[in-house]
Structure 1
Amino acid sequence: MPILFPTVFSAVQRRLLLFIGHLGLAALSNWVAFLLRFDGNIPAQEWDLLVAMLPLLLTIRAFTFYPFRLYDGIWRYTGLWDLRNLALSIAVSSLAFAGVVRFGLGTRAYPSSIFVIDALLLWCLLAGLRVVPRLIREAGWFRTDRKRVLIVGAGDAGAMIVREMRNNPSCGYRPIGFVDDNPAKVGHRIHGVRVLGNRDCLSRIIARQAPDVVLVAMPSAKPAAIRAVVKALEPFHLPIQTLPNLRDLLQCRVEVSQIRNLSIEDLLERVPVDLDPEPLRALVQGERVLVTGAGGSIGAELCRQVAGLAPASLVLLDRSENGLFAVANELAAAGKTFVAPVIGDVTEVGQMNRLFAEYRPTLVFHAAAHKHVPLMEGNPCEAVLNNVGGTRVVAEAAHRHEVDRFILISTDKAVNPVSVMGASKGVAELLVQRLARTSRTLFATVRFGNVLGSNGSVVPLFLEQIKAGGPVTITDPNMRRYFMLTTEAVHLVLQAARLARGGELFVLEMGEQISVLEMARNLIRLSGLVPDQDIPLTYLGCRPGEKLTEELVAGHETVESTAVQKVLCIRPDPARNFAQLSGLVARLEESAAEGNVSKVLALLCAILPTYCPAGTSLIQERGGETDALLPEDPAQSPAGIETVAGLAPTAPHRRK
């Protein structure tokens, strides 16, 4: 039969075998109908009648089976449509046979009940012939490598994924039960799979059913619900998988191929901000775009999204060839022929001037920066040269070549900084604000928190430590951070470019900060391991330059809402005096080039009165406001370091 040997026979041979098989079952059902009618002892007269009428019955059956295409279907996909056609063909042929026997031949001796019994038996036989192979296939009786999956969520998504698993046993999953909090569903079955209980019974269900994997099929669930499931699964060594969020599903169709491992993004304390990309097309389409730091995680994602908005050209600038090579190749493989990768250093004035003259960018995203806090604490001069000097060189080149828009990518560590990296980005923000006051170029800044999965983020570090068997190292159990997705960060940058009118600083409404300890524990759970049991956690203490919590807005800054939901604007202080900034920055860069660390720190303190590096103290306070911070050792204080008037915080931040 073609079910057992699907590739042996040709289409014609397959149909012929099906034809013979169907007629054989039609004859069998007619004989069994007579046996049932006469309690297993067919009288001789009735037997003669059966034999005499059987050729007529088989002829009528043969002629009615063909129009209903009973030989064309692929039985492993048998569904209601096939069973309906089967019933119609049997009903039509039975009625035709009864009409010929009763009115055509005038044979009254043929038992009337045989017509009904025969039709029902034949439908059962032919339906069984089709359905049984599908049941065997879907049950996976011949496969022992299918994972037993417990599905959390017996809604539409859960039902669709079970049906998909049933229809596609090669996917490698075997559903063994549902878990759902709706009491009306408990005890019932969906596509043959039982709803075993609610989430409170999760531990008992897992102990009894012993699944290989847990699938969270709740695309519309809030992160708190997902975290509750993860918490309940903590004692078990089980991988946790999930389906895309509803915003990622197309036409509400759920497929096995969409199953993915649960990730830390699913456990964010807030729902990720989904900014509309369509208004950005008008900003980028047809423009000549330059992205510095294009080989980094933020820069690379920025290049991907900009490339999808049809710019006239896209220049990728980075001094690290490996990252630049990867993103340039990726865009080239996607058919982005307008991409120009350039190896270059943002601190080289001549090189930047030549680049701007050659490519004439109209839109610049400055993402190039040193960002590793502990490294910059040990190399403060490099932090200043790259983050401050690089920003100044690129921004001045943009001003000189009359670029339309310049967007600086900054960090929350620039607010009341305690690290060299944060202070260097704070100075970079001031440089951009100063240029915004006099330049025809629209200068703006974007400030955001930690980006999940980016270079320097704790998540890749934690994952490496978990893969190595631990321990997972945490600086302080009370450490909390703002976290956002890479796509959120890049959308914010693009929206800032669209909203910029000159001098603004944009932030994303981030909600509450997330515990780094809880994030580490969740990552361990998502790896199918138990925190403190399979993977130990150790505490190292705060590293130089680290704060327990970060801030997105400084005390003297004014926060306003924008036309884009969840995107906030920080207006620059109109009373801020930038008169001495250029001279101080020049001396700062000169000291960094000389490698004079103490002078670099002192100058950063002079420019940013809120900067408090290790080993310094407040030397002057007035009404609770800090005028300057200098090293505790007076011998380290360079002569002539002034405090920039107007740069100190003046009032708590207010929101309009």
Structure 2
Amino acid sequence: MAYLVRFNFTLGFELNQFLVQIPFLLTITLFSFLLVGSYKSVIRHTGFTDVVNVFKSVSLIATSSVLFVLLNQSINILPGFTIPISIIVIHALFSFVALSGSRLIFKFSYNNLKCKLSASKNILIYGAGESGIITYNALLSNTNTKFNVVSFIDDDIKKKGKHINGVKIIPFSKVTTDYIQDNFIKEIIVASQTIEAKNLIELVDSLTDLNVEIKKVPAIEKWINGELNSNQIKQFQVEDLLGRAPIQIDNPNLLNEFNGETVLVTGAAGSIGSELVKQLSNFDVKKLILVDQAESALYDVQQELKQNGKKNYTAIVADIRDGLRIDSIFQDHKPTMVFHAAAYKHVPLMEASPYEAIKINVNGSKLLADTASRYNVKKFVFVSTDKAVNPTSVMGATKRMAEMYISCLQKESKTKFITTRFGNVLGSNGSVIPLFKKQIENGKALTLTHKEITRYFMTIPEASQLVLEAGTMGKGGEIFIFDMGESVKIYDLAKNMIKLSGLRFPEDIDIKITGLRPGEKLYEELLANGENTLSTYHKKIMISKTRDLDYKQVKSEIEELCITNRFQNNNIVMKMKRLIPEYKSNNSDYEKFDKRVQTYKKAKNIAGSNNKSKTLGSI
């Protein structure tokens, strides 16, 4: 080929010389390919490195040939033997193009034929940037499932009408139902890493109507060794639909706060408690004390710590209502910090059992806080809930009472008592999201209490970070809350979960409205009436300023409530309503007591005014 091109596609060269040059060139070529090893590559998986190796081989052939020809001209090793330098250069160019080009042609032909002859998924990739290209390569290298990338979706004007590896880039406006049906699209993978959370929700909403499965490429930091594997491309998670970016806490003091401390965590087997334990185990703590009454779940947490090579922990099965048991734990292990996450949290169950709610959420918290104060623990961090704000349920009221008792104790204790308040935790035991997932898996209708119900959501790691940050930032007496963005409408969330599962609403799975449960709110609040906030170093974290309390009277009434009224639910609820003015029952049998409490307070205020008048008159 080199000679034909050199001599204008004619045989204008000496055939005898050509026949001598061929064995020489074959010898040089054999030596070069053996030395570089370019022949070892699997052709159907040819990549940039393989093309570079071909270039090395060809360069070695050309260089060796030129050097031998020049050397032969000087010392005449083979008399009369020569190869024109122009022929060597042209031959090298042809060799490189032929060897690398044939590999690439074979690779693309193999992949295209494989996609057409074998069952494959037609997909679209949203985002034609670097992440989109990496996603494309990861899909093509998958050996289990065959993917056929039909198009990239990108609205960047600079990319309009262009191709990536032969795949066309189209604007989002062209992705219509007809386009999906005509191209038999099964999946749309969102590869863009720069899309904002709100825009992501709008995108998902618009895509779910196209009746295709939607998946998402994980964040770059979650790629394995910096490389994306197609198995990492998963369906959208609920946290992707929160409408806000995950809250990140970057406080350097957090690294030193727990060094050398003996930390006790109650409710250590629960959703928040177990995550707290997991994160605390990464700090240089002196010892971790894990307390929970659920022995099977506690065993699981213990085994996870053991498998991760953690040694500085002790798991204890104990009930926080048992004052003597708690005292013995403090006496034996001498904790310097306490994170109190143990509680009864299910609203309908606690509405039916106020006595049990008081025993755990109030009396248990009281006993633990009293013990921590008695042993001069440095910090006591209490995990509360947004249901404690203007409570409408027994559970919310008991958590508010625990907040109030801890505030009272702060006035007379050296221990710094700190409270954290946040909304619903995604994936926690008994929350609505796992319930929806289970119902979708079973093909059953999703059950929702009210079409207009809204909730604030946060992830388990976010909640745990807030609790740890409170332990670092708190000076005593604060209630820390998150700016959690906009509340999420559960009905919309349920619809998106159905659609993101590749099912149709309501054809495949419907949503059944069951009515509000006893004590349930339509919407949650993070601040009570009469509260405002103070800012902190982090723009997403605030401190709630609660209303003033008559600390001696409140503490006395809570103590009295904890030791009396056994199984007398009506008396318990009446006393809680008198103690918490903002507690108004909703959709509950206890609504009848709200008017009685108002009448009682009016009578009390009148009596107080009369006594005051008599005193002034006598003066």
Q: Structure 1 length normalisation: TM-score?
A: 0.83
* Aligned AA (1:298): I
1:153 — aligned with what? 127
1:22 — aligned with what? none
**Could you say what secondary structure the match of 1:370 adopts?**
coil
Q: In terms of mean alpha carbon deviation, does 600-609 or 527-536 score higher? A: 527-536
Is the Cα–Cα contact under 8 Å of residues 418 and 612 in structure 1 kept in the other structure? yes
**Could you say what secondary structure the match of 1:241 adopts?**
strand
**Could you say what secondary structure the match of 2:123 adopts?**
strand
* Aligned AA (1:147): K
1:143-193 superposed Cα distances (whole Å, 9 cap, x missing partner): 835533311111121112223334555575443321112133132112332
1:588 — aligned with what? 561
Aligned equivalents of 2:175 and 2:2: distance in 1? Answer: 50
Q: In terms of mean alpha carbon deviation, does 191-200 or 353-362 score higher? A: 191-200
By how many angstroms is 1:467 displaced?
1.3
**Could you say what secondary structure the match of 1:291 adopts?**
strand
1:178 — aligned with what? 152
Which of residues 392, 416, 426 is equivalent to 2:400?
Answer: 426
Structure 1 pair 322–173 and aligned structure 2 pair: CA distance change class (3 A)? farther
Structure 1 pair 300–136 and aligned structure 2 pair: CA distance change class (3 A)? farther
**Gaps in structure 2 of 5+ consecutive residues:** 609-619
By how many angstroms is 1:371 displaced?
0.5
2:62 — aligned with what? 91
2:17 — aligned with what? 49
Aligned equivalents of 2:495 and 2:464: distance in 1? Answer: 27
Q: In terms of mean alpha carbon deviation, does 268-277 or 307-316 score higher? A: 268-277
Mapped pair 1:467 → 2:438: no
2:428 — aligned with what? 454
1:103-252 superposed matches below 5 A: 114-115=87-88, 117-128=90-101, 130-131=103-104, 134-135=107-108, 139=112, 141=114, 144=118, 146-167=120-141, 169=143, 172-199=146-173, 201-245=175-219, 248=222
By how many angstroms is 1:532 displaced?
1.4
Aligned equivalents of 1:212 and 1:548: distance in 2? Answer: 37
By how many angstroms is 1:93 displaced?
4.2
Is the Cα–Cα contact under 8 Å of residues 370 and 376 in structure 1 kept in the other structure? yes
By how many angstroms is 1:438 displaced?
0.8
By how many angstroms is 1:459 displaced?
0.6
1:310-349 superposed matches below 5 A: 310-349=284-323
Structure 1 pair 136–82 and aligned structure 2 pair: CA distance change class (3 A)? farther
Aligned equivalents of 1:210 and 1:128: distance in 2? Answer: 31
Q: Give the root-mean-square deviation of aligned CA atoms.
A: 3.2
Mapped pair 1:82 → 2:53: yes
Structure 1 pair 154–534 and aligned structure 2 pair: CA distance change class (3 A)? same
1:611 — aligned with what? 583
Structure 1 pair 631–597 and aligned structure 2 pair: CA distance change class (3 A)? farther
Structure 1 pair 331–138 and aligned structure 2 pair: CA distance change class (3 A)? farther
2:26 — aligned with what? 58
Aligned equivalents of 1:417 and 1:78: distance in 2? Answer: 63
1:490-501 superposed matches below 5 A: 490-501=464-475
Is the Cα–Cα contact under 8 Å of residues 346 and 393 in structure 1 kept in the other structure? yes
By how many angstroms is 1:244 displaced?
2.1
**Could you say what secondary structure the match of 2:411 adopts?**
helix
**Could you say what secondary structure the match of 2:291 adopts?**
strand
Aligned equivalents of 1:202 and 1:56: distance in 2? Answer: 62
Aligned equivalents of 2:536 and 2:83: distance in 1? Answer: 86
Q: In terms of mean alpha carbon deviation, does 213-222 or 45-54 score higher? A: 45-54
Structure 1 pair 122–258 and aligned structure 2 pair: CA distance change class (3 A)? same
1:570-619 superposed Cα distances (whole Å, 9 cap, x missing partner): 2344x421222233223322345x20011011011111011112356699
From the two aligned structures, give the one with the greater helix fraction: 2
By how many angstroms is 1:542 displaced?
1.4
1:394-405 superposed matches below 5 A: 394-405=368-379
1:373-452 superposed matches below 5 A: 373-452=347-426
By how many angstroms is 1:489 displaced?
0.6
1:561 — aligned with what? 535
Aligned equivalents of 1:47 and 1:421: distance in 2? Answer: 100
Mapped pair 1:354 → 2:354: no
Is the Cα–Cα contact under 8 Å of residues 562 and 568 in structure 1 kept in the other structure? yes
1:409-443 superposed Cα distances (whole Å, 9 cap, x missing partner): 00011011010000000000001101111111110
**Could you say what secondary structure the match of 1:233 adopts?**
helix
Structure 1 pair 337–618 and aligned structure 2 pair: CA distance change class (3 A)? same
**Gaps in structure 1 of 5+ consecutive residues:** 1-31, 620-627, 646-656
**Could you say what secondary structure the match of 1:422 adopts?**
helix
Q: In terms of mean alpha carbon deviation, does 61-70 or 323-332 score higher? A: 61-70
By how many angstroms is 1:226 displaced?
1.7
Q: In percent, how many aligned pairs have the same letter?
A: 34
Structure 1 pair 360–190 and aligned structure 2 pair: CA distance change class (3 A)? same
2:497 — aligned with what? 523
Is the Cα–Cα contact under 8 Å of residues 242 and 261 in structure 1 kept in the other structure? yes
